[in-house]
């Protein structure tokens, strides 16, 4: 999803039946062999529940967030599920992690409110939901999907910006936008102190000396402006 290549989704079912992948989009995207390899990271021990988990196996990367809801109405007094994304092993999946975490929260709420996952009839709605999520996140990077009268899923892929380059003492910072737009009280004190000295002529070391700010602090402040 979101440029991460071909993706799928999984949602292992209730405790007592044993780990399985009853719902997939696309169907049969996760082979039995692959699931047997990674199932301990899909339906996990308690210490890994409600945590983001990324595992790579057989040229695929799986991002999930295993959830356990404890209640005496469930078999073995617990419902275990995990809806996640599958992409190519070489894909950068960090942009999908907040979405997986948010989906876990949505599904937990739906289950607590109406038994959405444990009820066989409502659980079948997961396939069209997962299909729309996959298609819209891949195509548009976002998705708004009404589930019922009181619940709507809102998701958006936030692309991770690469780290700005390291600033050296001989670098000369230059504004590419109106300098006045940068002057506001939201900047930290160091940035506010050096902004008047950024003129396209002074290098970082000179800015440090004239603004009376330690060199490494100036380098960090300029890097944050990039």
pLDDT digits (tens, 9 = 90+) for 69-97: 999 999 889 998 998 888 888 887 788 88
Q: Which residues of the chain have pLDDT under 70?
A: 1-22, 184-186
pTM of the predicted protein model? 0.63
Structure tokens at 68: 């356990």
pLDDT at 16: 45
CB within 8 A of 145, min separation 6: which ones? Answer: 129, 132, 133, 136, 152, 153
Rounded to an integer, what distance in angstroms lies between the CA atom of residue 41 and that of residue 66? 8
pLDDT at 72: 92
Q: Write the burial class of residue 104 (CB in 10 Å: 0-12 exposed, 13-18 middle, 19+ buried).
A: buried
Rounded to an integer, what distance in angstroms lies between the CA atom of residue 84 and that of residue 82? 6
pLDDT at 57: 87
pLDDT at 149: 80
pLDDT at 181: 73
Axis crossing angle, helix 215-225 with helix 204-211, rounded to the nearest 10: 120
Confirm if 30 and 21 have CB atoms less than 8 A apart. Answer: yes
> If we measure between CA atoms, which residue out of 144, 121, 65 comes closest to residue 98?
65
pLDDT at 21: 61
């Amino acid at each position: 999803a979101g440029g991460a290549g071909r993706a799928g989704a999984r949602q292992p079912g209730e405790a007592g039946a044993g780990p399985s992948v009853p719902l997939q989009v696309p169907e049969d995207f996760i082979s039995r062999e692959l699931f047997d390899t990674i199932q301990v990271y899909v339906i996990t021990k308690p210490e890994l529940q409600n945590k983001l988990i990324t595992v790579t196996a057989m040229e695929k990367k799986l991002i999930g967030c295993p959830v356990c809801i404890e209640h005496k109405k469930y078999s073995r007094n617990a419902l275990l599920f995990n809806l996640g994304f599958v992409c190519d092993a070489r894909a950068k999946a960090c942009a999908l992690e907040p979405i997986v975490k948010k989906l876990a929260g949505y599904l937990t709420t739906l289950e607590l409110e109406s038994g959405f996952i444990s009820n066989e009839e409502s659980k079948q709605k997961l396939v069209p939901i997962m299909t729309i999520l996959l298609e819209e996140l891949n195509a548009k990077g976002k998705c708004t999907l009404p589930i019922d009268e009181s619940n709507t899923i809102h998701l958006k892929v936030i692309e991770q910006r690469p780290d700005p380059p390291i600033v050296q003492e001989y670098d000369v910072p230059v504004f590419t936008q109106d300098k006045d737009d940068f002057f506001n009280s939201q900047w930290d004190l160091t940035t506010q102190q050096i902004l008047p000295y950024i003129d396209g002529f002074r290098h970082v070391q000179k800015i440090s000396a004239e603004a009376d700010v330690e060199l490494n602090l100036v380098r960090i402040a300029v890097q944050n402006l990039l």
